[in-house]
């Protein structure tokens, strides 16, 4: 979930521009049940009267996904290239925001002047059309914000990596640079290299081929479709995201051609060995087409022995379990699952270690500031710069890097974090709700209700409800009965000092329940105490 801020001015009255407004996706381990995760934009929204512009480098969800959700906290003009602006408009419309806030910027030639900043978009190769680096000129010098990129001279769709442009970029104060693939020690491969292996795989398969990739990787979706046609197959696009992205590509002119496709109903009359389905759900998303096909029928299609399912994608760390659930379900049907480990069926959209080194050498920045990666990757990227005697700064989330004074350095930290969208509500990690949910999931929940009458005397009827725990423990008595009896016995000894104090009652009950449960079932559950006073 990317969000970067550049500022210039006297301390306390700096003016800001913001780069990217992305999302992250929830997982069962850290954010069960959340819909989406946003960067906490509190710091900038508290200063939004000094926020002059928002720039979006490209249309991947981790860079654009939160635009519609967070726009009311930002409210500044948005600048992006045509294809990205098209996706931005969809995001804004979805949330009822004013799409006139978005301006389309021509790459290279157009400079957007925002007070002390002049910003231009430089095309750079990645795995989505029109990905761009930003050249940010400021009174302290030129900053390059790389965006996500790779060095690919034949990316299929979108702009090839242009060495000349980067070696003539002029004096660069700082390169703020993608770190995603820094740990990979081999030079990256071109998008072009996957097309032959994919075509050969489709020719070899005697049954139906189903292929999945990231919907936004329009180049790959087109390569898959073209390979399908070349191997004598009719092509069906299954899943809303893929259809949306191909339409966006054609509408904005980033692709001029796409092979003819057939709709799912027509395809049911075509022999399966002449079919290619291109489907959503390369990350194992439960409701996407790939997961539905692995479970059974989807839109009339079902898979069987002799069919091939191709993952022309990389499993993003954290999604391994969901993906393997699908691959095993497919395997049970006799389907051969093929992924990137079995041939050159996928290339990454990010620069590997040697590519980053080459990029540093082309741009020749005074300082490299790694971004877009886990802490370990940022550090490794710093080491790579150090190896070539380029100054570098490790700036993890929340760092403020200062260019004032003698030396570039991390001068301060601001509080950053995650905002969860959970149903129709937004809240932060510090609100403790997600922590509660995780604790309930891990430990189970016991609710104890007790009644206190008009005279502040407790009634003996205690009511206990148990959720998510085995109900009979070591003493072979029903756990809820045991807890009810224990507390009934306890409250006989309570004096007014306790009975008038809800906090004390809660504390005593909670401790007693945890102790009993630990003895009975070896677990300390979450405990909720409900006190009903009849007075």
Both tokens of 454, joined, read 């008009």
Q: State the Cα–Cα distance between residues 466 and 378, nearest whole angstrom.
A: 46
Both tokens of 27, joined, read 């997982």
Angle between helices 502-521 and 479-491 (to 10 degrees): 140
Q: Which of residues 195-224 bind Zn ion (CB under 5 A)?
A: none
Min separation Cβ 448 and Zn ion, Å: 48
Would you say 148 or 355 has its CB closer to Zn ion?
148
Min separation Cβ 295 and Zn ion, Å: 30
Would you say 60 or 89 has its CB closer to Zn ion?
60
CA-closest candidate to residue 69, choices 93, 46, 100: 93
Min separation Cβ 127 and Zn ion, Å: 7
Which single residue is written with the structure tokens 């761009």?
A: 132
Would you say 302 or 348 has its CB closer to Zn ion?
348
Min separation Cβ 128 and Zn ion, Å: 6
Asked if residue 83 lies in contact with residue 57, where contact means CB atoms within 8 angstroms, the answer is no
Min separation Cβ 313 and Zn ion, Å: 14
Both tokens of 360, joined, read 């540093």
Min separation Cβ 506 and Zn ion, Å: 46
Would you say 102 or 128 has its CB closer to Zn ion?
128
Which pairs count as long-range contacts for 262-268, CB under 8 Å and 24+ apart, including other chains? 262/234, 262/235, 262/236, 263/236, 264/236, 264/238, 264/299, 264/300, 264/301, 265/300, 267/234, 267/236, 267/301, 268/300, 268/301
Min separation Cβ 62 and Zn ion, Å: 4
Phi and psi torsions of 104, nearest 5°: -85, 130
Would you say 348 or 486 has its CB closer to Zn ion?
348
Would you say 202 or 245 has its CB closer to Zn ion?
245
Q: State the Cα–Cα distance between residues 394 and 380, nearest whole angstrom.
A: 10
Task: Give every CB contact of residue 472 below 8 A, 6+ residues apart in sequence.
Answer: 478, 479
Q: How many CB atoms lie within 10 A of CB 375?
A: 11
Asked if residue 279 lies in contact with residue 182, where contact means CB atoms within 8 angstroms, the answer is no
Min separation Cβ 63 and Zn ion, Å: 6
**What track of x and - describes contact with Zn ion for positions 139 through 168 (by CB under 5 A)?**
---------x--------------------
Q: Which of residues 258-317 bind Zn ion (CB under 5 A)?
A: none
Would you say 147 or 228 has its CB closer to Zn ion?
147
Would you say 24 or 119 has its CB closer to Zn ion?
24
| Candidates 62-70, 359-367, 477-485, 492-500; binding stretch for Zn ion (CB under 5 A) | 62-70
Would you say 60 or 418 has its CB closer to Zn ion?
60
Which single residue is written with the structure tokens 């934009």?
A: 41
How open is the CA angle 297-302-306, to the nearest 5 degrees?
160
| Total number of residues that touch Zn ion (CB under 5 A) | 3
Q: Which of residues 42-61 bind Zn ion (CB under 5 A)?
A: 60
Min separation Cβ 181 and Zn ion, Å: 11
Out of 27, 62, 116, 366, name the contact with Zn ion by CB under 5 A: 62
Query: Which residues contact Zn ion (rule: CB under 5 A)?
Result: 60, 62, 148
């Amino acid at each position: 979930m990317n969000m970067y801020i550049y500022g210039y001015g006297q301390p306390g009255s700096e003016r800001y521009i913001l780069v990217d407004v992305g999302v992250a996706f929830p997982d069962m381990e850290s954010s069960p049940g959340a819909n989406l995760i946003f960067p906490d934009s509190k710091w900038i929204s508290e200063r939004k009267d000094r926020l002059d512009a928002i720039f979006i480098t490209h249309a991947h969800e981790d860079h654009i996904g939160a635009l519609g959700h967070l726009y009311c906290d930002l409210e500044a003009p948005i600048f992006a290239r045509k294809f990205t602006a098209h996706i931005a408009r969809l995001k804004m419309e979805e949330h009822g925001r004013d799409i006139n806030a978005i301006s389309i910027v021509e790459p290279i030639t157009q400079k957007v002047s925002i007070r002390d900043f002049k910003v231009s978009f430089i095309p750079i190769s990645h795995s989505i059309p029109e990905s761009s680096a930003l050249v940010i000129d400021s009174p302290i010098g030129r900053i390059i914000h790389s965006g996500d990129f790779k060095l690919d001279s034949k990316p299929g769709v979108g702009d090839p990596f242009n060495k000349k442009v980067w070696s003539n970029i002029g004096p660069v104060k700082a390169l703020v640079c993608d770190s995603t693939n820094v740990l990979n020690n081999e030079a990256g491969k071109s998008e072009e290299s996957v097309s032959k292996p994919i075509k050969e795989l489709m020719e070899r398969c005697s049954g139906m081929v189903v292929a999945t990739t990231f919907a936004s990787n329009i180049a790959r979706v087109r390569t898959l479709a073209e390979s399908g046609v070349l191997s004598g197959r009719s092509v069906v696009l299954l899943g809303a995201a893929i259809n949306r992205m191909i339409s966006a590509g054609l509408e904005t002119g980033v692709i001029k051609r796409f092979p003819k496709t057939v709709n799912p109903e027509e395809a049911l009359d075509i022999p399966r060995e002449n079919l290619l389905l291109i489907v959503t759900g390369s990350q194992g998303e439960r409701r996407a087409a790939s997961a539905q096909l692995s479970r059974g029928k989807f839109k009339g299609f079902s898979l069987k022995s002799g069919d091939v399912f191709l993952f022309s994608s990389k499993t993003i760390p954290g999604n391994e379990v969901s993906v393997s659930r699908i691959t095993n379900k497919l395997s049970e049907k006799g389907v051969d699952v093929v992924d990137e480990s079995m041939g050159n069926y996928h290339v990454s959209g990010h620069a590997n270690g040697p590519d980053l080194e080459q990029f540093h050498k082309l741009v020749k920045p005074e300082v490299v500031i790694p971004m877009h990666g886990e802490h370990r990757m940022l550090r490794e990227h710093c080491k790579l710069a150090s190896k070539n005697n380029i100054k570098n700064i490790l700036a993890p989330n929340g760092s403020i890097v200062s260019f004032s004074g003698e030396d570039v350095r991390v001068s301060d930290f601001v509080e950053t974090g995650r905002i969860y969208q959970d149903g129709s509500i937004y809240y932060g990690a510090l609100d403790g709700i997600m922590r509660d949910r995780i604790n309930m999931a891990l430990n189970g929940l016991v609710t104890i209700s007790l009644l206190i009458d008009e005279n502040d005397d407790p009634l003996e009827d205690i009511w206990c409800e148990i959720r998510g725990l085995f109900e009979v423990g070591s003493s072979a008595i029903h756990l809820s009965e045991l807890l009810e009896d224990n507390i009934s016995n306890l409250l006989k000894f309570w004096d007014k000092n306790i009975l008038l104090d809800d906090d004390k009652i809660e504390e005593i009950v909670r401790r007693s329940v945890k102790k009993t449960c630990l003895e009975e079932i070896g677990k300390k559950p979450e405990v909720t105490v409900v006190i009903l006073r009849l007075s």
